[in-house]
Amino acid sequence: MLSPYGKNEWLTIAAIGLLLMIASLVAGLWWLVLIILPATAAGLLFFRDPNRKTPSQRGAVIAPADGRVSSIHQVEHFEPFNGPATCIRIFLSVLDVHINRSPCHGQVTSITHKPGDHKNALNPASAETNESNLIVLVHPIRLQPLAAVRQVAGLLARTIACGVHEGDVVQRGQRIGMIKLGSTTELYLPADLEPKVAVQQGQKVYAGLTVVATVTSKDQPEPQPESVETHEQPAPAQADPQPARSAPR
């Protein structure tokens, strides 16, 4: 399945590939099709969006992105939480699935886009200076901060698609956006939830599948019973997400 977050891109790739193959056949250069076809397929794979069954155990916080854990560190003061937080940073290569998923059940209380650079994501400084989009989740009733997902653009990943809006209630594992062509995703957990990190630096994680931490606070809301099945379905057609902002290509 191809993600609607990258619909314009994968339709363009498919159309160009098809036209090139037709032109090659008309010109009698059939052997070019053997090059164009796999190249087109590789381009489409950048926008793949597999269905996944999210773990449902109480207190589990799941990875918001596919990739490799590049850093686990403490933040003394994370402004959206008004207090300390644990940050789990995930690096996405161009070969990873680029879909972002909600780490827990909660309500979107704010979405903050920050313009910035487009440095190589392999440079640790890029996480601080590059263009980013921060999604903060709170308890739907108590409004207590639960988690924040920060989508960070990179050298090639210059379009951040955000598929949620302020006020939306999302389920654990639900699709919430996409960083096209890789880069970095950060997960922040407030210290008052006493997060216990369940992954190590360098470990490979998968969005919607890998439990990256557990929280022990009794204020942590649990997903609705239908949540596991709900996010197994393709992203809603009406979402037609708009990029948080796209830097010029």
Catalytic residue among 132, 183, 217, 246: 183
Q: Do 147 and 179 belong to one domain?
A: yes
Are 232 and 161 within one domain? yes
- For 51-106, what is each residue's pLDDT tens digit? 999 998 899 999 999 999 999 999 999 999 999 999 999 998 888 999 999 999 99
Residue 242 has pLDDT above 60, yes or no: no
Model confidence pLDDT, tens digit, residues 148-164: 999 988 666 557 889 99
Domain presence at residue 212: yes
Domain of residue 198, residue span: 60-246
Asked if 9 and 81 sit in the same domain, the reply is: no
Q: What is the pTM of this model?
A: 0.80
CA atoms within 13 A of residue 62's CA, in its CB half-sphere: 27
Radius of gyration of the chain (CA): 19
174 and 217 part of one domain: yes
Q: What is the pLDDT of residues 188-197, one digit of tens each?
A: 999 999 999 9
> Would the pLDDT of 20 be above 90?
yes
Indicate the number of domains in the chain: 2
Note if 132 is an active site residue: no
Note whether 31 and 64 are same-domain residues.
no
Inform me whether the pLDDT recorded for 236 exceeds 50.
no
